[in-house]
Chains A and B, each alone.
Chain A
Amino acid sequence: MPDVRAVPDPGGRPAGTPATRSVRRATVLVRLLRHRSGSIGLILTTTFVLLAIAGPWIAPHDPARPNYRNLTAGVQREHWLGTDAFGRDTLSRVLAGARYSISIGLAATVLGALVGGAWGLWSGYAGGRVDGLSMRLVDVMLAFPGILIAIGLVTITGPGVGPVIFASAVFGVPIFARLTRASTMAMKERAFVEAAHALGARGGRVMVRHLLPSVIAPVIVFATLRSGTTLLVASGLSFLGLGVQPPAPEWGGMLSDAQLYLAVQPLMAFAPGIAITLAVLGFNLLGDGLRDVLDPTLRT
């Protein structure tokens, strides 16, 4: 079942010439900055991506160093967000944890979009039996609601960063496949594809040079929206104890640890919880903004 926020756009246009393309890219950014929620999303997302890069360096303390004389502390001069059950600095752990949570979410989304996109493009272009069979497979994958596929895969592979990325990526593959297939089907009947065929272009070339540019806009918009969901799933796996394992400061895992100390030190839960929420909010707002700017035919 495709995510309903994104209905594939059958009326996209072929890619412009290089010159118009770079102009269009600049206007997209300007229009995004003028878009109220889009600009907030862009700022939030940029901040979190920068944190994922620089987080461990700007952390005031070593996120892994325990201090048994200062357990579950509240706000202190030395520890702005207090300390956890091992006396580790919560602020440093949230900052360092961005590298885990954000990179996992982004990597899984990109991987899912690439594989699902290629699948959908190929299936939609090939048509016929191949398409019928491959869409049946998508149906089977989609018959398991939401997070179940990710839970199943990560239980088989065992915990860790790689498995979480893999499981969260597979969770997105069938949806990207269906979305890309729908746009491809609509697009391959258009005159410019026929022209490419008439000029002797082969299937692979038609797919990559002609179909891909015209179906990619909705995929990018959807991938942005999807990043938030993927982040939720990935941190959910770690929250369930199936994903990234302690002592790594992954936000979902931190929340799971913090639940035990809720009555003692709620800051332990609030800090990573608010971090995930803001990051997901950022991706969702950016996705909404991008959709409004890039592709007005996609509805909310």
Chain B
Amino acid sequence: METLTKSDFNIDRSTGDFRYDVDYAFDAGTGLTEKTIDFICDVKKDPDWVRAFRKEALRKFESMPMPTHWASHDLENIVFDNIRYYLSQGTEPKRSWDDVPEDVKRTFERLGIPEQERKFLAGVEAQFDSEAAYSNIKAAVGEQGVIFVGSAEGLREHPEIFRKWFGKVIPTGDNKFSALNSAVFSGGSFIYVPPGVKVKHPLQAYFRINAENFGQFERTLIIVDEGAELTYMEGCTAPKFETATLHSAVVELVALKGAKIQYITVQNWSANVFNLVTKRGLAHEEAEVKWIDCNIGSRLTMKYPGVVMKGRKARGEVISIALAGDGQHQDTGAKMVHAADDTTSNIVSKSISVGSGRSTYRGLVQIGRHLKGCKNNTECDALLINTQSRTDTYPAITVRGKENACQHEASVSKISAEQIFYMQQRGISKGAAMSLAVNGFVNDLVQQFPMEYSVELKRLIDMEMEGSVG
């Protein structure tokens, strides 16, 4: 049978692959030392406790080994000394697009962010390299008491909420990259939703890397108070550079009693970005944390969104779609820690590997011996497109106690040349047929997305698949 060749899947990342020159007022230079941290603290006017927190984190980062005993050796190709850890035009985001400097504004306009904001969002934060260039929330949402600001403003203006939860869901030393983020974090969102407030439209953050040899380290902390609800979405792109770029975020979510948080990511980094992100939510009694995580771009992504269910009847969910094109490695998964009775979790993971692309699923499910009435369901399906593709599944399930239930299903399938032939016989081109089959594979998950994002995801998949099919 004819094999589908590499050239059929050349990837078109044209949407994010452009770059305008920008003047930076603040540049920490390359390399990471205590001096870098002092530079960042001085520019950001951090309080002393933050300076101490950062320096402690730097020590942890330096003392922790690269996790290559289990993770990809590609991590060794990150040269920390060559990276610029802070670049910005200033620390204060603008409240109006009219005030955003022209050189930055045209980037976001080209990415369609102001337009999306007008159409369907309750608020937007647009981060350009190290700092948000724009941050605004619709008046009606602000009047309900919802706080949506950058992390720096959050820790400065709302210390009573910020300090209570900052670094509590994901401790500095959780892993080497959470320590790195804790040392040099800049940008990201701080959100607080007061009790009972259900934010109708999503809040969105858009992360843009514009500079070469750069590391983006945003820090997001979201607290949704009792009975409140929030949907947060993030998107990200970068132009394609010859050299490696690093993105290492930490995202902490706290859902208090009966609260609901839905966190949606559509990651479309260019293929030179190392995307090493730690994301975890804490779900109190009857609260729900749901991660919807789509990884389409990057060179290597390592990301395992987690939920710690610490209150009775809490619920955690991870819905994830990963697409590993030629030369990419999507190492993704989920962590579900059941820490109270009657907690339930659900993991559905679908990965697509194309060409020499590689997908890895790592899952961790823990249900303690003393608990009862806990349930986990895990499904992971992999789709392979051509024989070079590789997929691995590493589930780690620890279920103790007699009154708990866990169910795990995994499948690997291929798009066969016979399927492509069948679709082609109906007049559909080879590229469109691939695209149709891949969209079919993820169809049941995509239906759970907000409309605007499912359209975006379909468009990205179409672009990946159509590429340069001749």
- A-B interaction: no
Interface residues of B (CB under 8 A from A): none
Interface residues of A (CB under 8 A from B): none
